[in-house]
């Protein structure tokens, strides 16, 4: 288990703009990173993770092995964690929903860390989040867990996730159904600019204020 880590703010400076996320501790945030491949979502997530002291990643895309200890064995996660390794990239060989559920059960045992899930849309029960991940989403704050997810598309993600999100980072999107989906809770005029955003630019939705900002590359 992680010890009693104080609340921490993750900051990515960007000239006059800054992203501030309560990453671990009381009030840890729920964050979504979305966009087409090679547009910058994983790079932004990795940049923010770099200042976090403890995290566990469902690294389905194998993007984070350079910033964490890699394991392909679920059983090793607890052993590594209890042994003091607090930055872990779990790169599943078995990518079934059953294995993802087991991962979520392990994550529920941790405290004061970021739990990150790559490509969350691949691990749903129809239109719903799998129960184990839903419990993690609902109870994570009480354990000091920040819940971060990535997805190439937003359309089809169960509404529990974006409606509870503290931060949503959206890179270039083209599909009308994705733009319509995003317009339900983000500034519609800014959402319509997503297809023409320059590479690595993104929209940043801030749940506390309900505001949407156009953000330069970090």
CATH number assigned to the domain comprising residue 58: 3.40.50.300
Give the pLDDT confidence score for residue 5 in this predicted structure. 42
Largest CA distance in the chain: 49
Rounded to whole angstroms, how far apart are CA atoms 184 and 154?
12
Give the pLDDT confidence score for residue 152 in this predicted structure. 92
Rounded to whole angstroms, how far apart are CA atoms 45 and 128?
24
Give the pLDDT confidence score for residue 3 in this predicted structure. 38
Q: Which domain holds residue 20?
A: 8-215
Nearest to 165 by CA among 22, 63, 11, 64: 22
Q: pTM for this structure? A: 0.91
Rounded to whole angstroms, how far apart are CA atoms 88 and 197?
33
Any domain includes 130: yes
Rounded to whole angstroms, how far apart are CA atoms 71 and 103?
12
Q: Encoding tokens for residue 149?
A: 């997810």
Rounded to whole angstroms, how far apart are CA atoms 9 and 23?
6
Neighbours of 4 (CB within 10 A): 9
Give the pLDDT confidence score for residue 8 in this predicted structure. 59
Any domain includes 2: no
Q: In this predicted model, what pLDDT tens digit does every residue of 105-117 receive, in sequence order?
A: 999 999 999 999 9
pLDDT by residue for the chain (218 residues), tens digit each?
A: 333 344 456 777 655 567 888 887 767 999 999 998 889 998 999 999 988 999 999 999 898 999 999 999 999 999 999 999 999 999 999 999 999 999 999 999 999 999 999 999 999 887 899 999 999 999 998 999 999 999 999 888 888 899 999 999 999 999 999 999 999 989 999 999 999 999 999 999 999 999 999 999 98
Partnered with residue 67 across adjacent β-strands are none
Any domain includes 91: yes
Any domain includes 153: yes
Give the pLDDT confidence score for residue 38 in this predicted structure. 87
Give the pLDDT confidence score for residue 126 in this predicted structure. 79
Give the pLDDT confidence score for residue 1 in this predicted structure. 37
Any domain includes 129: yes
Q: Which residues lie below 8 Å from residue 166, measured CB to CB, with a gap of 6+?
A: 21, 22, 29, 30, 31, 206, 207, 208
Any domain includes 142: yes
Residue where the block lists tokens 């392990």: 106
Any domain includes 183: yes
Rounded to whole angstroms, how far apart are CA atoms 12 and 15?
10
Residue where the block lists tokens 């294995």: 99
Give the pLDDT confidence score for residue 2 in this predicted structure. 37
Per the structure, the count of domains in the chain is 1
How many helices (H) and strands (E) would you count in the chain?
A: 7, 13
Give the pLDDT confidence score for residue 16 in this predicted structure. 56
Any domain includes 135: yes
């Amino acid at each position: 288990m992680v010890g009693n880590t104080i609340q921490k703010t993750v900051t990515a400076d960007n000239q006059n703009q800054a992203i501030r996320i309560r990453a671990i501790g009381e009030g840890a945030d729920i964050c979504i990173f979305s966009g087409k491949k090679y547009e910058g979502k994983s790079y932004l997530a990795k940049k923010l993770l770099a200042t976090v002291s403890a995290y566990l990643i469902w690294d389905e895309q194998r993007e984070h092995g350079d910033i964490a200890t890699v394991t392909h064995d679920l059983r090793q996660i607890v052993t590594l964690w209890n042994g003091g390794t607090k930055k872990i990239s779990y790169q599943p060989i078995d990518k079934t929903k059953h294995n993802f559920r087991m991962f979520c059960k392990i994550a529920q045992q941790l405290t004061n860390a970021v739990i990150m899930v790559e490509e969350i849309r691949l691990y749903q029960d129809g239109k719903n989040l799998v129960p184990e991940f839903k419990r993690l989403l609902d109870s994570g704050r009480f354990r000091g867990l920040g819940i971060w997810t990535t997805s190439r598309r937003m359309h089809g993600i169960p509404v529990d996730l974006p409606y509870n999100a503290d931060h949503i980072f959206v890179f270039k999107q083209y599909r009308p159904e994705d733009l319509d989906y995003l317009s339900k809770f983000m500034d519609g005029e800014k959402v319509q600019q997503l297809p023409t955003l320059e590479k690595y630019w993104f929209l940043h939705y801030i749940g506390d204020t309900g505001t949407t900002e156009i953000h330069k590359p970090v």
